[in-house]
Amino acid sequence: MEWCRWLPKIELHAHLNGSIRDSTLLELAKILDDKNVIVFSDVEHVVLKADRSLRECFTMFDLIHLLATDHKAIRRIAKEAVEDFAAENVIYLELRTTPKKNDSIGMTKRSYVEAVIAGIESVETVKVEFIPSDENTKKPIKTIPIIDSYEPKTKKIYVRLLLSIDRRETTAAALETVELASEMKDSGVIGIDLSGNPRIGDWFTVLPALNRAKELELPITLHCGEVPNKKEIQAMLEFCPQRIGHAVFLEDDEWKTLKSSYIPVEICLSSNVKTRCVPSYDDHHFIDLYNAKHPLVLCTDDPGMFSISLSREYYIAAKTFGLTKAQLHEMAMEAITYVFADHKVKKALEEIFKDSERKLT
């Protein structure tokens, strides 16, 4: 496990509000209890529950959004999420979040995203490379203590944002998110995600927004096949996004389409097992895709919600499927190909992996 923590890693599928520390959620709940908005004891056991079905996860997200969606809380959550990923030696993070609007507290989708950005920029435990073009505003490199001989003297994490469209949203609201992503391209926003309860909403409601994202040349990743829905899975694969997440409930013909399309899959082992979408790690489709040399990347999905880390996901993959350190390193490095960031960032990531490869032998 320690080795998996040392391994440089790329995280491409992590939801901001699924990455909240339990301790932070409980603190935020206490504040709302003091204001008589909620009763803390009603919330505490829900936050600390270990395993949740997919349905229960979405109930939990509604609670998280109640507890955590003001500008101050969002800044804090974004800061802590980046700190936590960096502590796991994640060197490139695409964090995704759904811009939220709440007139009662003066929150617009833009001000929500600005709060996320402010949080990311306030990280102090690691150097954050967030907006590459803006050299003048870059913070000085901060150093953190050297933990062992493998640790670089200065830790650095590249962070980019994906704006999520929630499947509950109207076409107009989804379009607003896409336009916002385009307007904020120079502020660290790099692409679009489609997520939200897979049992709610309709592909054709969000399709105009996703087509607009294509027109604007925003890379797209879709949550695909979390529940059996043949028509939608086929439509998503036909849409040909840059990446898909999960890909659990594909049937034989969809597997064929996926494999011939080479669409990279964001694999979320623990999320799929804990939400009971996949019966066990041994039964996970990861190994079929891995053996077929299909493009894939290990991800956490919601590390706070599931009490997991990306290092642990690598460890589980190694233990379950008998992967060697060299195979894990190769898989982690391969993820560079699927990041949405530009060539310059990819080159820098390659250097980090090449350096760590030398220390493998």
Out of 12, 17, 189, 332, the residue judged to bind ligand 5GP by CB under 6 A: 17
Out of 9, 155, 223, 329, the residue judged to bind ligand 5GP by CB under 6 A: 223
Determine the Cα–Cα distance for residues 333 and 350; give it in Å rounded to an integer. Answer: 7
Given the rule CB under 6 A, which of 15-23, 135-143, 279-287, 321-329 is the region that contacts ligand 5GP? 15-23
- The token duo for 21 is 């520390």
Given the rule CB under 6 A, which of 104-112, 180-188, 194-202, 308-316 is the region that contacts ligand 5GP? 194-202
Query: Among residues 96 and 155, whose Cβ is nearest to ligand 5GP?
Result: 96
Annotated catalytic residue, options 11, 80, 226, 232? 226
Determine the Cα–Cα distance for residues 245 and 229; give it in Å rounded to an integer. Answer: 15
For ligand 5GP (CB under 6 A), the number of binding residues is: 17
Out of 195, 221, 270, 311, the residue judged to bind ligand 5GP by CB under 6 A: 195
Residues 94-153, interacting with ligand 5GP (CB under 6 A): 97-98
15 lines the binding site for ligand 5GP (CB under 6 A): yes
166 lines the binding site for ligand 5GP (CB under 6 A): yes
164 lines the binding site for ligand 5GP (CB under 6 A): yes
- The pairing of strands 127-129 and 189-195 is unpaired
Is 226 labeled as catalytic in the residue annotation?
yes
| Of the candidates 1, 51, 43, the residue with the CA atom closest to the CA atom of residue 25 | 43
Determine the Cα–Cα distance for residues 9 and 336; give it in Å rounded to an integer. Answer: 10
Query: Among residues 98 and 221, whose Cβ is nearest to ligand 5GP?
Result: 98
Smallest gap, in angstroms, from Cβ of residue 160 to ligand 5GP?
A: 15
Determine the Cα–Cα distance for residues 346 and 344; give it in Å rounded to an integer. Answer: 5
266 lines the binding site for ligand 5GP (CB under 6 A): no
Given the rule CB under 6 A, which of 14-22, 129-137, 250-258, 334-342 is the region that contacts ligand 5GP? 14-22
Determine the Cα–Cα distance for residues 126 and 91; give it in Å rounded to an integer. Answer: 10
Q: Is 140 exposed, middle or buried (0-12, 13-18, 19+ CB in 10 A)?
A: exposed
79 lines the binding site for ligand 5GP (CB under 6 A): no
Determine the Cα–Cα distance for residues 332 and 323; give it in Å rounded to an integer. Answer: 12
Smallest gap, in angstroms, from Cβ of residue 358 to ligand 5GP?
A: 36
Determine the Cα–Cα distance for residues 1 and 58; give it in Å rounded to an integer. Answer: 30
For every residue of 17-66, which 3-state class applies, written as one string?
A: HHCCCHHHHHHHHHHHHHCCCCCHHHHHHHHHCCCCCHHHHHHHHHHHHH
Residues 230-259, interacting with ligand 5GP (CB under 6 A): none
Query: Among residues 69 and 89, whose Cβ is nearest to ligand 5GP?
Result: 69
Q: Is 326 exposed, middle or buried (0-12, 13-18, 19+ CB in 10 A)?
A: exposed
Out of 52, 61, 119, 192, the residue judged to bind ligand 5GP by CB under 6 A: 61
18 lines the binding site for ligand 5GP (CB under 6 A): yes
272 lines the binding site for ligand 5GP (CB under 6 A): no
Separation in Å, CA 178 to CA 182, 192, 212: 6, 7, 7
| Of the candidates 241, 255, 231, 258, the residue with the CA atom closest to the CA atom of residue 195 | 241
Smallest gap, in angstroms, from Cβ of residue 226 to ligand 5GP?
A: 6
Determine the Cα–Cα distance for residues 14 and 6; give it in Å rounded to an integer. Answer: 20
Query: Among residues 164 and 311, whose Cβ is nearest to ligand 5GP?
Result: 164
Smallest gap, in angstroms, from Cβ of residue 229 to ligand 5GP?
A: 12
Catalytic residues: 226
Which chain residues interact with ligand 5GP by CB under 6 A?
Answer: 15-18, 61, 97-98, 164, 166, 195-196, 198, 223, 226, 271, 301-302
